[in-house]
Chains A and B, each alone.
Chain A
Amino acid sequence: MKNIIKYIPLFLLLTTVSCKKDKKDPEPEPEPTPAATTNTIKILFEHTVDTNELVLNQNYVNPNLDTFKVSTLKYYISNIVITKNDNTTFVEPESYHLIDVSNLSSTTISIPNLPFASYKSLSFTLGVDSTRNCSGAQTGDLAQNKGMFWNWSTGYIMFKLEGTSPQSGASNKSLTYHIGGFGGVNKVQRNFIFNFASTPANVSASVSPVIHMSVDVNEFFKNPTTINVATQHTQMSTGATAKMFADNYADMISFEHVHN
Chain B
Amino acid sequence: MNRIANIFFLLGVLIFASCKVDPKIIEPLPADNLVEVIPDGWPQPKYTFSVNTISEDKFVLGRALFYEEMLSVDNTISCGSCHQDFAAFSHSEHKVSHGIYDRQGTRNAPGIFNLTWHPLFMHDGGINHIEVQPLGPITNTLEMGADINPVIAKLQASSKYQNLFKKAYGSDTVNSQKLLRAMTVFMGLMYSYNSKFDYYKRNENNVELSDAELRGYSLFTAKCSGCHTEPLFSDFAFRSNGLTVDPFYQDSGRAHITGLPTDRYKFKTPSLRNIAKTAPYMHDGRYTTLNECLDHYTNAIPNLTNLDPSIPTNGFQFSAQNKQDIIAFLNTLTDYKFLGDKRFANPNF
Residues of A within 8 A of B (CB): 133-139, 143-145, 149, 151-155, 237-239
* In contact, A152 and B180 (Cβ under 8 angstroms): no
Q: Kindly name the residue among B52, B131, B149, B184 whose own CB sees the greatest number of chain A CB atoms within 10 A.
A: B131
* In contact, B175 and A145 (Cβ under 8 angstroms): yes
* In contact, A136 and B175 (Cβ under 8 angstroms): no
Number of interface residues of B (CB under 8 A): 26
Set of chain B residues within 8 Å of A145, measured between Cβ atoms: 148-149, 152, 175-176
Closest to A240 in B: B259
Q: Is B181 among interface residues, defined by CB-CB distance under 8 A? A: yes
* In contact, B177 and A137 (Cβ under 8 angstroms): yes
Contacting B129 at CB < 8 Å: which of A136, A143, A153?
A: A136
CA distance A171 to B244 in the complex (A): 34
Nearest Cβ on chain B to A214's Cβ, whole angstroms: 32
Residues of B within 8 A of A (CB): 52, 126-132, 135-136, 138-140, 148-149, 152, 175-177, 179-181, 184, 256-257, 259
CA distance A149 to B131 in the complex (A): 13
Closest to B150 in A: A145
Set of chain A residues within 8 Å of B180, measured between Cβ atoms: 136-137, 144
Nearest Cβ on chain B to A139's Cβ, whole angstroms: 5
Contacting B126 at CB < 8 Å: which of A134, A152, A239?
A: A152
Set of chain B residues within 8 Å of A139, measured between Cβ atoms: 175, 177
* In contact, A237 and B259 (Cβ under 8 angstroms): yes
Set of chain A residues within 8 Å of B135, measured between Cβ atoms: 144, 149, 151, 154
Please report whether the interface of chain A is mostly helix, strand, loop or mixed according to DSSP.
loop
CA distance A138 to B131 in the complex (A): 9
Contacting B140 at CB < 8 Å: which of A133, A152, A238?
A: A152
Nearest Cβ on chain B to A98's Cβ, whole angstroms: 14
Set of chain A residues within 8 Å of B127, measured between Cβ atoms: 151-154
Contacting B175 at CB < 8 Å: which of A143, A149, A153?
A: A143
* A134-B128, A144-B135 known; A153 vs B176 contact (CB < 8 Å): no
Closest to A26 in B: B171
Closest to B121 in A: A154
Set of chain B residues within 8 Å of A151, measured between Cβ atoms: 127, 132, 135-136, 138-140
Contacting B176 at CB < 8 Å: which of A134, A144, A154, A155?
A: A144
CA distance A221 to B204 in the complex (A): 67
Query: What are 9 A-B contacts with C-beta separation under 8 Å?
Result: A134-B128, A136-B181, A137-B132, A137-B177, A143-B176, A145-B175, A151-B139, A154-B128, A237-B259
Q: Kindly name the residue among B176, B181, B184 whose own CB sees the greatest number of chain A CB atoms within 10 A.
A: B176
Set of chain A residues within 8 Å of B131, measured between Cβ atoms: 136-137
* A136-B131, A154-B129, A154-B132 known; A238 vs B175 contact (CB < 8 Å): no
Q: Which 4 A-B pairs have the closest CB atoms?
A: A136-B131, A137-B180, A151-B135, A137-B131
Closest to B149 in A: A145
CA distance A133 to B127 in the complex (A): 11
* A139-B175, A145-B175 known; A154 vs B126 contact (CB < 8 Å): yes
Closest to B151 in A: A145
CA distance A143 to B130 in the complex (A): 15
Closest to B178 in A: A137
Closest to A186 in B: B259
Nearest Cβ on chain B to A136's Cβ, whole angstroms: 3
Q: Kindly name the residue among A133, A136, A155 whose own CB sees the greatest number of chain B CB atoms within 10 A.
A: A136
Set of chain B residues within 8 Å of A237, measured between Cβ atoms: 259
* In contact, A144 and B128 (Cβ under 8 angstroms): no
* A151-B132, A154-B132 known; A143 vs B259 contact (CB < 8 Å): no
CA distance A152 to B128 in the complex (A): 10
* In contact, B257 and A153 (Cβ under 8 angstroms): yes
Nearest Cβ on chain A to B42's Cβ, whole angstroms: 22
Nearest Cβ on chain A to B97's Cβ, whole angstroms: 14
Set of chain B residues within 8 Å of A136, measured between Cβ atoms: 52, 129-132, 180-181, 184
Nearest Cβ on chain B to A235's Cβ, whole angstroms: 13
* In contact, B130 and A144 (Cβ under 8 angstroms): no
Contacting B177 at CB < 8 Å: which of A143, A154, A239?
A: A143
CA distance A137 to B256 in the complex (A): 23
CA distance A137 to B177 in the complex (A): 5
Closest to B124 in A: A153
* In contact, A134 and B129 (Cβ under 8 angstroms): yes
Q: Kindly name the residue among A139, A144, A149, A151 whose own CB sees the greatest number of chain B CB atoms within 10 A.
A: A151
